[in-house]
Amino acid sequence: MSTGTWQVNSSSNKLIIFMGATNPLENLNDDWIIVEKTNSVIKLKDDSTTHLEELHFMVQ
C-alpha cells in the first residue's frame, strides 16, 4: 500500500499528484492538465511538451 497527495490548481486547470518515491507509482508524480472531468471520467495530460503522456480514470 502506498500513500500520496494531490492538489487542484484551478487557475491553471492542473491536478498536481505526488505518490512518493516508490516504483511504479512515482511515475505519476507530475503536474497534469485536466482535459476532461465528468461524474464518471477524468482525463489528464502531462503538461510537458517533450513527451505525450495521458491518464484516464473511469468509473465502471
Residue-wise pLDDT tens digits, 10-56: 888 998 889 888 888 888 888 899 999 999 999 999 988 887 899 99
pTM for this prediction: 0.75
Q: Tell me, what's the pLDDT at 1?
A: 65
Q: Tell me, what's the pLDDT at 23?
A: 82
Q: What is the DSSP string of 1-60?
A: ----EEEEETTTTEEEEE-TT-TTGGGG-EEEEEEEE-SSEEEEEES-SSS--EEEEE--
